[in-house]
Structure 1
């Protein structure tokens, strides 16, 4: 759906692509205050990419994002050249460090930017280079239907435009998912938090949630929290949220706690260098295991898959092919993978693939929400 001011028959010099490339899921938040019933709508475009596939330099002038309800534009955001460069710098910097696979894993840009194309940090795009603009969050006062993006660029002294369109979709789960834990838990990383939700930066985990167990005084862990076993969540039962067939089981990983903490006598630069080395090793071994740790993925009717991440070592109680029932004990809460502390990460996807799967909006059909507004945990120092 591209519109371009280029001569008939000539090759398109600038390509505008998005991740996802066809549609994005809308998240709606509703609440009631003294004025009455309120609502807002938001989406995340996980990446916008601009590729110079010509043999000469192109200068990007602006990127305009318009939101439509029906045929009418009701919201417009314009990013100038400096705005675009600020967004592109992070991806370009990681590319220079040799972390391009990490960018591809998080944003899914390997489907839009050929591996031989270098990532640029400037709007003056050299031939065969690309701009990657990550995580554009958009908030609306009413339900959007489509998002139109237009990039203006200069080539041969003339201004041209390239355009693409994204459909805004809703999703209703085909299965009823019960809470995968027993008792009262703090659920964080929820879509209602908007840009504060650390899951929404990638399409695979966009609607995932984290569960943490609180102690008697509201604390997350006993002792000093230096070990996974200090956390109150550690070792708690993980339950199947819905009945289905086990599709994926990974239970070989062990939590290497020093990955998140400085070792005794280790300087900050040495600690950072060790983390960087471990990340490079993870990219070679497979980033899904590095990020998710021990995990289980269960297939449900209607091509829906529930995923349970960061599970405790030697706690998995099912194998691939097993049929499980809702509420069945399948593993224990742990801290394997890229985990800030012992907790359970839960999400629903459209396929059994933590890297390529698409996160799906869901609600727990058998759960009582005690606190309905997102917040932060805070205490005096």
Structure 2
């Protein structure tokens, strides 16, 4: 079992354990376990993962899977498989949760959400409500008031009595807890051989951890039966949708210093000065790096390549763009277009535009017609106009997998 690394854990983020080790026999085995069955063109678990991995308050995500499902999980999760920690689950939901919590222990979060993989319609608002209700010694349970009239059956199959539904709720996930108390409760139940808890709120109740009820969501259904899978697929397939296309912008500027050439968009251009910077000071590629990172919320160039780090002294800036492009692809993104505007009085960019375009085509692995490199002067105004430096503006468009509901 692989632990969550220190880099993944963060005090201000909430960890998640997603339970996906079950066989889902009630949903039918013809198409495999229900968490891997297709709804709306993607696996159930892929949609569930996406809800948490795109949430700004969520940190490390652990998925407890069956010992036989490693390859199945990676295929279903796609690029997101590399963004989570997969651990082998147990023979029961309770045991799978415990093993998932243990994977977080070495770099423990303050709070943790526990969610069933078969609830793919969890939304950001429900996640927010649950997180907000978690206290230092208090858990949170999203739930809906029971609406149906309840009957208790006799041994003979007859109605024995009508059960009052006042104060009764149907529990959902994600259920949220302070990390150490819920881990301790699971460990205690494990050591005492108590394995009959149906959810984590029940373990918390047994361990005397208060749990606050927060409003659940009628959309947050658990897919249990084959008909649930079919209805979820129909719901997603018929919903109006639009492509998940994201656009990022980047800007960079570097001053001149003594030298004999400048590097712009990966091409060395003879000049009576060079650009000052810790790397090769390629303003075009620096701006493009930031634009690509912006499409997947991955910070900026300084986050990944701090100028204080001596290993980047004199480095070729194509390294930075290749890293950003790799991050985009790891999240399933496809780079559709890159547009760079270089702002300078000199040197002339036009004679080198074709070489720049070919260089970017190789770096980004996209066709030449998807790259635009332009140059303009600053009409002798400002620091650029005084030929004190060069500026660049970049825009990148990336298509990410799956569709987003209108």
- Give the TM-score normalised by structure 1: 0.21
Which is richer in helix?
2
TM-score by length of structure 2 reads 0.20
Structure showing greater Rg: 2
